[in-house]
């Protein structure tokens, strides 16, 4: 059985493939266990086609998945001559490349996480009439996924609220699976995280993250109140690699010889250690991209600061869905002045009634079986079964 994964544009379009790969391989072993020993078992081959940078290549290499770069260009939400070049040259070249690659592999199923990087591969799969699963992690579908829905055999959604944003004519294809979260994440404890990151067991931990690229606005606001925050909490600060050295220079002067200077732990970017940082965090300040799913899975009280320029305003929609569910506090970027940020952080970390209510309300937003459900869907489509045949209980 051959499966091609596709997506790209940000790490948010790639990281959810980890639990999907894990679930596909587990489902493969379960299927093989039912085949008589006299029959030669079919192999499971998983490849990734899409936007492949160094981080993406290393990510898939870690899971023994071959990653092939397929150029796609990028549609910028502002005027740029590069838009015309990408649409006239890069995208057609990417589609041609994908047509060749898909023909050579001829997968049984294509699973797309969306993003502009998925366009060539999904279009090539549609040309060859290969079953396509689209997955949307956000509460509102991205532009690429909206356009590609016409080609999808099944559209899997991370949030129930996302279904209302799917065009009516495609809603019958939607399945609320949730967004897959790596299984190892749910097994981690606060003790595991604190031990790995050299944090004392009695410390309360605040994790601040601006996403894979960092967030200068959040960084600057946190620096204004950092001296006060470290008096009460250990602060794990994911700054973004481009900002790390400048922030270290500033905080070196800011904290000086303070007895609490070791309570500030800046990182440019966390990969393998991010689950550990999440596990030991008592509260999280972050953007509102698809990464919030991991915070929900670990039941972490959170303060969300949505990125105003995010595509389709999806971060603000994500944040408001969680806020309406009572699962997060939300601070608009325009209100991120130091006073309001500090006030919200202290409420997040110290209001036990609020924290307990958030944790309780996250249960309705968590889908622990998202990975296995998507794997079962992929195997069903590969066998030629209708997308909903094994999912009648979760189709809304």
pLDDT for the residue numbered 392 = 37
CA distance 177 to 361: 18
Query: Does a structural domain hold residue 267?
Result: yes
Same domain flag for 35 and 141: yes
Residue 388 lies in a domain: no
Q: How many domains does the chain have?
A: 2
Identify the pLDDT of residue 88: 62
154 and 255 part of one domain: no
Q: Are residues 14 and 151 in the same domain?
A: yes
Same domain, 231 and 207: yes
Q: Do 79 and 214 belong to one domain?
A: no
Task: Round to whole Å and give the CA distance between 236 and 263.
Answer: 8
Q: Are residues 267 and 316 in the same domain?
A: yes
Considering the domain architecture, whether residues 346 and 378 belong to the same structural domain is answered as no
The confidence score (pLDDT) of residue 39 equals 64
375 within a domain of the structure (yes/no): yes
- Both 102 and 208 in a single domain? no
Q: Would 389 be classed as within a structural domain? A: no
What pLDDT, on the 0 to 100 scale, is given for residue 76?
52
Is residue 196 within 8 Å of 166, Cβ to Cβ?
no
Do 198 and 243 reside in the same domain of the chain?
yes
Q: Return per-residue pLDDT of the chain as tens, 396 residues.
A: 999 999 976 666 788 899 999 999 999 998 888 877 666 667 899 999 998 988 889 999 999 999 999 987 666 555 565 655 566 667 888 999 999 999 999 999 999 998 889 999 999 999 999 999 999 999 999 888 999 999 999 999 999 999 999 999 999 999 999 999 988 899 999 999 999 999 999 999 999 998 655 588 899 999 999 999 999 999 999 998 888 999 999 998 888 888 899 999 999 988 789 999 999 999 999 999 888 999 999 999 999 999 887 667 889 999 999 999 999 999 999 888 768 999 999 999 999 999 999 999 999 999 999 999 999 999 999 988 766 544 433 333
The whole-angstrom separation of Cα 266 and Cα 240 is 10
Residues 166 and 192 grouped into a single domain: no
- Residue 276 covered by a domain: yes
Q: What is the pLDDT of residue 13?
A: 73
Strands (E), the chain: 2-7, 45-50, 66-69, 109-112, 132-136, 154-157, 174-176, 205-209, 234-238, 264-267, 283-286, 302-304, 329-330
If phi over 0 gives left and psi between -120 and 50 gives alpha, with beta otherwise, what is residue 189?
Answer: beta
Domain that holds residue 34: 2-181+368-382
90 and 217, same domain (yes or no): no
**Same domain as 149, residue 265:** no
Q: What is the CATH number of the domain that holds 345?
A: 3.40.50.2000
Has this prediction a pTM greater than 0.75? Answer: yes
Give the model's pLDDT for residue 339.
Answer: 87
SS3 76: coil
Please check whether residue 212 lies inside any domain of the structure.
yes
Task: Judge whether 392 lies within some domain.
Answer: no
Within-domain flag for 396:
no
């Amino acid at each position: 059985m051959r499966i091609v994964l596709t997506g790209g544009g940000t790490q948010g379009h790639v990281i959810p493939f980890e639990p999907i790969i894990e679930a596909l391989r587990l489902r493969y072993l379960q299927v093989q266990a039912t085949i008589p020993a006299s029959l030669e078992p079919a192999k499971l081959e998983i490849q990734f086609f899409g936007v492949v940078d160094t981080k993406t290549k290393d990510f898939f290499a870690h899971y023994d998945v071959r990653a092939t770069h397929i150029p796609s260009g990028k549609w910028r939400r502002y005027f740029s001559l590069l838009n015309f070049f990408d649409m006239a040259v890069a995208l057609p070249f990417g589609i041609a490349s994908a047509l060749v690659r898909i023909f050579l592999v001829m997968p049984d199923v294509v699973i797309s996480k969306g993003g502009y990087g998925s366009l060539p591969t999904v279009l090539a799969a549609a040309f060859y009439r290969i079953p396509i699963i689209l997955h949307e992690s956000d509460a509102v579908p991205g532009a690429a996924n909206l356009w590609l829905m016409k080609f999808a055999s099944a559209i899997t959604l991370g949030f129930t609220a996302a279904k209302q944003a799917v065009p009516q004519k495609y809603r019958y294809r939607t399945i609320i699976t949730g967004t897959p979260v790596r299984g190892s994440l749910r097994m981690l404890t606060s003790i595991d995280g604190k031990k790995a990151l050299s944090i004392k067991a009695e410390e309360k931990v605040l994790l601040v993250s601006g996403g894979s690229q960092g967030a200068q606005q959040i960084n600057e606001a946190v620096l204004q109140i950092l001296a006060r925050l470290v008096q009460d909490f250990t602060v794990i600060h994911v700054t973004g690699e481009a900002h790390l050295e400048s922030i270290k220079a500033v905080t070196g002067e800011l904290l000086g010889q303070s007895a609490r200077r070791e309570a500030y732990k800046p990182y440019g970017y966390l990969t393998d250690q991010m689950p550990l940082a999440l596990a030991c965090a008592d509260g999280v300040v972050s953007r509102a991209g698809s990464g919030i799913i991991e915070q929900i899975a670990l039941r972490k009280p959170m303060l969300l600061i949505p990125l105003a320029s995010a595509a389709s305003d999806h971060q603000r929609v994500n944040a408001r869905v969680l806020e309406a569910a009572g699962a997060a506090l939300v601070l608009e970027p325009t209100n991120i002045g130091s006073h309001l940020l500090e006030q919200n952080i202290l409420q997040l970390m110290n209001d036990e009634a609020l924290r307990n209510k958030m944790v309780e309300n996250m249960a309705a937003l968590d889908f622990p079986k998202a990975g296995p459900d998507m794997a079962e869907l992929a195997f069903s489509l590969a066998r030629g079964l209708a997308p909903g045949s094994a999912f009648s209980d979760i189709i809304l």
